[in-house]
Structure 1
Amino acid sequence: MSSYRPLHDGWILSAVPGGPADVPAPVTAGSVPATVPGCVHTDLLAAGLIDDPYLDDNERRQAWIGRTDWVYRTSFAWSPDEHERTDVVCEGLDTVATVELNGVRLAATANEHRSYRFPVRHLLRDGDNTLTVRFDSAYDYAEERRAALGERPASYAEPYMFVRKAACNFGWDWGPTVVTAGISRPIGLESWSGARLAEVRPIAHADGRVEVHVRVERVTEAPVTVTAEVAGVSAEQHVGGRAAVLALRVPDPEPWWPRGYGGQPLYDLTVRLGPQEWRGRIGFRSVELDREAFGIRVNGVPVFVRGVNWIPDDCFAPRITRERLAERFGQATAAGVNLLRVWGGGRYESDAFYDLADELGLLVWQDFPFACAAYPEEEPFRSEVEAEARQNVARLAPHPSLVLWCGNNENLEGHADWGWQERLEGRSWGAGFYYDLLPSIVAELDPARPYWPGSPYSGAPGQPPNDPSTGTVHIWDVWNREDYTRYAAYRPRFVAEFGFQGPPAYATVRRASSDEPLTPGSSHQKADDGQGKLLRGLGEHLPAPETFDDWHYLTQLNQARAMAFGIERFRALMPYCMGTIVWQLNDCWPVTSWSAVDGDGRLKPLWYALRRAYADRLLSVQDGALAVVNDSGEPWSGDLRFVRRRLTGEPLAKEVVAVRAAPRSVLRVALPGSVVTPGDPARELLTAELDTVRTTYCYAEDTAMAFPEAVYDARAERVPGGYRVTVTAGSVLRELVLFPDRLDPGAVVDDQLVTLLPGERAVFHVTTERELDTGALTRFPVLRCVNERAPAGRAQRSLPARSQVM
């Protein structure tokens, strides 16, 4: 028997005296109500003691929070019950915590990534009890460990590798420095007698076999009976020790598939020990990793990965609800994504994250939380890493969506290529974790799932980690130094990281900044020389911006084009290349970054480009040929229509080619001679169309094209749920976009980046609950295209000189 009582009420938070000199007096003056689960930042925000850390430059002005020690305290009543044992169960403490009950210290912890359980029945009083959790500064702890163990190189001048905490909490090139503290996950009292289910770890196989590994914690040595049941099949075992394995076999199970390959049937598994019960869901599938070329096979079928990297969706983890995750996952699946890579600078995600992935058929690549630094392997870190890995591998083992464990992000490359070896002078850097400890834990606890030591990684410790010819590659010369057309020079096996920046939605910038007027500097920018790279990245592709509105539209458009260019090149290499994982899907705050969905959850133009580039069927003009990409389960056949046209729409040459692209294949079709070479590159374009899929290809960069000034008729009308905006082209309209969030921050449009030929029509559906100005919906700066007429008054809105960074 057991009972659980959450301890989430009545908490108060106070700063420990003697902290940083810049702690505001109202904070040191007393205590504030605390929300549990929660964190210091959100408690201070709720109490009105700080401004929103995500707005203006509040991040910098609130750095004292991470340098301060904090105490959470609550009182609760307790009466003796019939149980033999009572534990305080802490599912998550962030991070350097000392836990006391009635003045008696239970433990000191220093790991955000694991849970804790402390027996306390001997300390509980009949009546009022006091539970206290003190959080010392993670900065102070990390700097003390650094002084003791010696410096380690990293991508940022922060000590994050010396404490088991999400690295990005210390700031990143897309994230704020908000070093958090608090009771980040549920905390409560569990009372029990005899024995309890300490861990349930099912391993399900594609043929219906299930091995249910059970670990039992005991007060007495009396034998207990454990049962397991799934799909009407049950097993029972008498357990005299502390571990057991129950074997079941489900006849003819329905296989679990990634989205786009089949269904996602999930089976309820129940494990019982007396009245105690564990419930979870499992799926039957196999997963294999092709280690030679790097490719993922599910149920024996190769899967081309259309992936995105996932970062923590908020710096303040307790604010990430299942509903918020469901919204973000819906945005991912709507863009054609089939895999999320949980990046190593974050954390192991919540149960809800993996449950949703199971339900939606989203594959999950899980990095262990190590990123962009040399990590010490000495104690206490080795024991902490082992404990967190064991807990989380066991916790996540039931999920069919999880297809890969990865040892780290970029640490192998850092040691090999970033000058770390000289700086380390023989000190440990994490190799023992990635090549020994972590793979041994995965092999023991989750043997049906592959492990990969890190990314990028070429398959053997002696090989260059970022070699495109084998294993995984990260491509960052594009964005940092090279034009995005350099993607065409790569022939990778699997691209696990590549990206290009763009600003967030206008409404997000407006909410996050009090600047009047807005400038490019109004959007947070954490990347080194980020503003300069944004403008240089426009290159010959797009005109130089003259105003903030130009800058916002053109840099967003350039981000979308850059990533579409790369994805199309790499998808066209299938099956030689078997995956792309875009950096990144989401943001944790309002910032100019590489994301497709900004920090307020709004879709950037990149998202719409991603939806096209990740569609099951894609046409892409490349190197004198057309790639017909068919990543669906059915053949794609028909008449492929090529038309070379003047910009006025007049056809100059037409060709029709009968094609058939087999399922999960790429067919390359040479451009017919009459369309491959234009008569006048500046005044002609090419369209290629198969069924309802069309691609438009310009023979020259936009800045060299002789586009006419845009002529169109645009009309907006109220319809249920929002507005319908119809645009009829009188001339070619290049990359037409609609930004309804400029009128209503909650408005969403169903499409973007539409190129129209003269006489063609596009219909946009705007979802909003507000009444909008229909005229404003159809003109600058809401409705835009590359070749638009310059609006009146543009000179008055010119960028300040300081924003024109080159």
Structure 2
Amino acid sequence: MALLTGFFSLGNTTLADSLTLHSGWQFSKYGSNEWLPAVVPGTVHQDLIAQGKLPDPFYGMNEDEIQWVEDEDWLYRTSFTLTEEQLAHQEIFLVFEGLDTYADVSLNGACILKADNMFVGYRVPVKHFLRKGENKLLVSFRSPLREAMPQWETNGFIYPAANDHRAERVSIFTRKAPYSYGWDWGIRMVTCGIWRPVRLEFAGQAVIEDYFVCQESVTSSRAEVDNRLEINNLSNQIQEAQVKITCTYGQERSRMIEQAVSLQPGVNTVSLPLNIESPHLWMPNGWGEAALYDFHASVTIDGKTVACKQHQIGLRSIRVVQEKDSLGMSFYFEVNGIPMFAKGTNLIPSDALLPRVTRERYVCLLEDVQAAHMNMIRVWGGGVYEDDALYEEADKRGILVWQDFMFACTPYPHDPAFLKQVSEEAVYNIKRLRNHASLAMWCGNNEVSEGMKYWGWKKKYGTEIYQQLADGYDILFRRLLPEKVKELDPGRFYLESSPYEANWGRPNTWKNGDSHNWGIWYGQKPFESLDAEIPRFMSEFGFQSFPEMKTIHSFASPEDYNMESPVMNAHQKSSIGNFLIKKTMGLYYRVPEKFEDLVYLGLVLQGQGMRQGMEAHRRNRPYCMGSLIWQLNDSWPVVSWSAIDYYGNWKALHYQSRRAFAPVLVDAVREGDKLKYYVMSDVLKTKDIVLQIELTDFKGKVLRRHQVKGELPVNSSALFYEEDWNSAFAACDTTTSFIHMTLKGAHDRQVLSDEVYYPVRPKAQHLPQAKINCKIKKKNGACELTLKSDQLARDVFIEIPVQGVRFSDNFFDLLPGVSRKILITSGDGSPLEDVSVHIRQLSDISYTEN
């Protein structure tokens, strides 16, 4: 048995010959002798649902009805036919890219593999077990719950894995996606199955086991790369070979290097350095092209190419700057020598049933990230190391990836067997992901260090057990993982734990490294706290909302439309969730009576509140150099912190993220008795600009207008203008007026930013019942709306009953007399049929008295 060590997806490896084993599968509960059709890749839950043995887990209270599955053992079998010609190959490998999790694999009566880690792939030489004609393959999965019970029963204490939603918290003993055991936004669905592709690979005289394009030095004038290959000579004799590397960019002439090597039997390491003059640098989203070179490696023996492998490589330098300064310790990303403000989000797995996540879904999600002007995603440590497709799409779009190892929110064991599993997992995933231009850093875990310091574990467990936990922490996160990163991915930054800084509300918070701020949630603080609690880098902060009504329809009936109904509570995993949504809503809005209005206003609240934090972070650069919201997506239809719901619908938060992360943004904020106007820019060139400031009432009458000239700041934030607060709103009613800010190029008159500022909270405003005129036109399979109103319409929300549609804009303020065109397209590119359009605005809501 051997672990896969490099890329093995067909998109990155050219295979001489292979046979995909995805057809003819059957599955059975152990001991039942009832065999039913199965889909591979897949999970037992998907197969049970398809066969009518399980209800839809996401609907109603059905989560309770599926829990029995995790306690059973399951069998999967298939057969395949091989020809004499196929069997004549030098070697044949059986490749499993992912087995979830404890599995014995038998081939023609021989046990060829014992798997115990969901996060690795396996590649087993099987030629001697294969036959001409029919071959039988059986994968026997053991219950991950029962498999780990002996460890749980003999451990002597229960680990504080609070997100494991079962009394027997065995999740920490198993190298399996933690979120599948439950989370504070997640359904408990402890899966098993062949969750990633499986195939046979037919090899000739040699195979390239791994190809690492090590970027030793990259500048705008020269890139020095070392092409490091592991070549397995499958013969028992020395073979003379030619190893060739070609490097191509677009239509440019290829660069090539070739070397003669003597391949010893077994694995050989070969190094071929290559220099590229004046390289096209890979740039982050918003800064230029995410340029990718095609690197191709081949091995030729006796004039015949016997093995090849290729990668798309972005040439760039990424440095994480973590340095002591007079204020504490910095934390920021420098790309190609330029400090970058990280605008982004945290990614969780996109489905509770992982094989449902297709490349198309990754494409859609990364397009959404790019559209919101983000340049970074954090792959969070309670999920999975994502499929190659995610990183490939991030490469194409200039999205940096902060990659956690899969450890979150609890200490972990450190016995020899567990450490061996983690070591193999680290080797496998570092080698699999290290060629990606998007991969910016590795992080040992999510919040374990903070938990060790501040979550009361020492008091709970006592000194002796706490010391065991601390010893395990040191071994895993200060020794094993950083050593593997240093060995296999030299030059890539490793962070022991996120956050580096103590969490919200503690002494000296916000001065060092990255921070998680849960003050506006678990701390129940107002959004204004985000203006004061400024970290060096915000890697998590969030506030919840319900998804919109069409998503709620997918898991609930009208009789369930109450925030405290059993079904709604089953889809609200945070202990204070619904209470806190209403409590915070009451600070800024009058609380609605109807459930549908609560849902709408909750979306608005989440978007507006989180935007306040994003803008505060950008205003305060370079002290603060990153803002990653929690969280981007959902793994099922649920009440959560997400910006995009399970079906791909953008919540108000994602639209507000797009506005807050715009390349150029003008932002007004009250500071004491001053109204200050900041200009935030990620643009790398300056230009002359003009800021027009108009004090306007809700009917569109301009009460005051003036202009301020200046220069656009370069890749920074600057105070552009300030005025006395009382003077700014002199002789006007602050409950019926706002400031309209338009930032333009002084010469080309290009609009760089167009924003509004309201002097009072929405619940103090006297909003008009604006009549919105809406014209609808079908256009090339899309739907175009033209909206106009003579009065201000705040937080306009356009709804149509189709999941995953895209709006060119939504959750916006329709200014008086200003026409807005909104284009609506389907999520999958198919033509939109006739759909009903419903438009809400803030003044439509009926309220109870607070």
Please tell me whether the aligned partners of residues 699 and 790 of structure 2 are also in contact (alpha carbons under 8 angstroms): no
Residue of structure 1 equivalent to 2:770: 710
Residue of structure 2 equivalent to 1:425: 466
Please tell me whether the aligned partners of residues 781 and 832 of structure 2 are also in contact (alpha carbons under 8 angstroms): no
1:197 aligns with 2:220: no
Q: Secondary structure in 1 aligned to 2:787? A: strand
Aligned ranges 1:658-737 → 2 under 5 Å: 658-673=709-724, 675-679=727-731, 680-691=733-744, 692=751, 693-737=753-797
Counterpart of 2:718, as a letter, is L
Q: TM-score, normalised by structure 2?
A: 0.87
Counterpart of 1:667, as a letter, is A
1:457 aligns with 2:503: no
Aligned ranges 1:607-646 → 2 under 5 Å: 607-622=654-669, 623=671, 624-646=675-697
Residue of structure 1 equivalent to 2:818: 760
Q: Secondary structure in 1 aligned to 2:208? A: strand
Change (3 A) 1:87 1:720: closer
User: Bigger shift: 410-419 or 124-133?
Assistant: 124-133
Counterpart of 1:14, as a letter, is S
Aligned ranges 1:500-515 → 2 under 5 Å: 500-515=543-558
Counterpart of 2:814, as a letter, is L
Change (3 A) 1:221 1:438: farther
**Structure 1 residue 569, shift from structure 2 partner:** 0.6
Please tell me whether the aligned partners of residues 740 and 748 of structure 1 are also in contact (alpha carbons under 8 angstroms): no
Pick aligned residue for 1:361 from 375, 388, 398: 398
Q: Secondary structure in 2 aligned to 1:671? A: strand
> CA deviation digits over 1:440-466, x for unaligned, max 9?
11111111321111210149x9xx999
Q: Secondary structure in 1 aligned to 2:540? A: strand
Residue of structure 2 equivalent to 1:545: 592
1:267 aligns with 2:310: no
Please tell me whether the aligned partners of residues 540 and 702 of structure 1 are also in contact (alpha carbons under 8 angstroms): no
- Between the aligned partners of 1:235 and 1:433, the Cα distance in structure 2 is 40
Counterpart of 1:109, as a letter, is A
**Structure 1 residue 86, shift from structure 2 partner:** 2.8
Residue of structure 2 equivalent to 1:468: 510
- Between the aligned partners of 2:807 and 2:293, the Cα distance in structure 1 is 38
Please tell me whether the aligned partners of residues 654 and 675 of structure 1 are also in contact (alpha carbons under 8 angstroms): no
Q: Secondary structure in 1 aligned to 2:231? A: strand
> CA deviation digits over 1:268-317, x for unaligned, max 9?
11222331111111121111110121110111111111111111111222
- Between the aligned partners of 1:465 and 1:114, the Cα distance in structure 2 is 41
Q: Secondary structure in 1 aligned to 2:784? A: strand
User: Bigger shift: 445-454 or 208-217?
Assistant: 208-217
Please tell me whether the aligned partners of residues 676 and 719 of structure 2 are also in contact (alpha carbons under 8 angstroms): yes
- Between the aligned partners of 2:107 and 2:516, the Cα distance in structure 1 is 48
Pick aligned residue for 2:39 from 20, 31, 35: 35
Please tell me whether the aligned partners of residues 195 and 355 of structure 2 are also in contact (alpha carbons under 8 angstroms): yes
**Structure 1 residue 616, shift from structure 2 partner:** 0.5
Counterpart of 1:173, as a letter, is D
- What percentage of residue pairs aligned between the two structures are identical? 34
Residue of structure 2 equivalent to 1:214: 229
1:185 aligns with 2:243: no
- Between the aligned partners of 2:556 and 2:730, the Cα distance in structure 1 is 47
Residue of structure 1 equivalent to 2:7: none
Residue of structure 1 equivalent to 2:245: 228
- Between the aligned partners of 2:150 and 2:42, the Cα distance in structure 1 is 26
Counterpart of 1:660, as a letter, is E
- Between the aligned partners of 2:682 and 2:116, the Cα distance in structure 1 is 46
Aligned ranges 1:522-541 → 2 under 5 Å: 523=568, 524-541=571-588
Residue of structure 2 equivalent to 1:343: 380
Change (3 A) 1:2 1:655: closer
**Structure 1 residue 712, shift from structure 2 partner:** 4.0
Change (3 A) 1:418 1:636: farther
Q: Secondary structure in 1 aligned to 2:137? A: strand
- Between the aligned partners of 2:131 and 2:290, the Cα distance in structure 1 is 49
Please tell me whether the aligned partners of residues 723 and 767 of structure 1 are also in contact (alpha carbons under 8 angstroms): yes
Residue of structure 1 equivalent to 2:283: 257
Change (3 A) 1:537 1:77: same
Please tell me whether the aligned partners of residues 98 and 134 of structure 1 are also in contact (alpha carbons under 8 angstroms): yes
Residue of structure 1 equivalent to 2:303: none
Residue of structure 2 equivalent to 1:330: 367
User: Bigger shift: 197-206 or 670-679?
Assistant: 670-679
1:153 aligns with 2:160: yes
**Structure 1 residue 611, shift from structure 2 partner:** 1.0
**Structure 1 residue 74, shift from structure 2 partner:** 1.3
Counterpart of 1:113, as a letter, is F
Pick aligned residue for 2:308 from 255, 259, 277: 277
Residue of structure 1 equivalent to 2:11: none
> CA deviation digits over 1:405-452, x for unaligned, max 9?
111111111111112234243223433221111111111111132111
Counterpart of 2:246, as a letter, is E
Residue of structure 2 equivalent to 1:23: none
Pick aligned residue for 2:539 from 474, 496, 505: 496
**Structure 1 residue 40, shift from structure 2 partner:** 0.7
**Structure 1 residue 330, shift from structure 2 partner:** 0.8
**Structure 1 residue 218, shift from structure 2 partner:** 4.1
Pick aligned residue for 2:51 from 39, 47, 50: 47
Q: Secondary structure in 2 aligned to 1:512? A: coil
Residue of structure 2 equivalent to 1:298: 335
Q: TM-score, normalised by structure 1?
A: 0.91
**Structure 1 residue 144, shift from structure 2 partner:** 2.7
Residue of structure 2 equivalent to 1:22: none
Pick aligned residue for 2:630 from 583, 594, 600: 583
Residue of structure 2 equivalent to 1:403: 440
User: Bigger shift: 695-704 or 338-347?
Assistant: 695-704
Change (3 A) 1:492 1:79: same
**Structure 1 residue 771, shift from structure 2 partner:** 5.1
Please tell me whether the aligned partners of residues 739 and 749 of structure 1 are also in contact (alpha carbons under 8 angstroms): no
Counterpart of 1:215, as a letter, is E
- Between the aligned partners of 1:543 and 1:208, the Cα distance in structure 2 is 59
1:318 aligns with 2:355: yes
Residue of structure 1 equivalent to 2:3: none
> CA deviation digits over 1:452-504, x for unaligned, max 9?
11210149x9xx99931111000112122212221112121100011111111
Q: Secondary structure in 2 aligned to 1:345? A: coil
Residue of structure 2 equivalent to 1:596: 643
Unaligned runs of 5+ in 2: 1-14, 248-253, 301-305, 324-329, 745-750
1:657 aligns with 2:705: no
**Structure 1 residue 34, shift from structure 2 partner:** 1.2
Please tell me whether the aligned partners of residues 416 and 465 of structure 1 are also in contact (alpha carbons under 8 angstroms): no
1:11 aligns with 2:69: no
User: Bigger shift: 136-145 or 146-155?
Assistant: 146-155
Please tell me whether the aligned partners of residues 680 and 713 of structure 2 are also in contact (alpha carbons under 8 angstroms): no
Counterpart of 1:228, as a letter, is I
Change (3 A) 1:789 1:229: closer
> CA deviation digits over 1:633-673, x for unaligned, max 9?
23253221223334444344333221212221212134323
Please tell me whether the aligned partners of residues 545 and 581 of structure 2 are also in contact (alpha carbons under 8 angstroms): yes
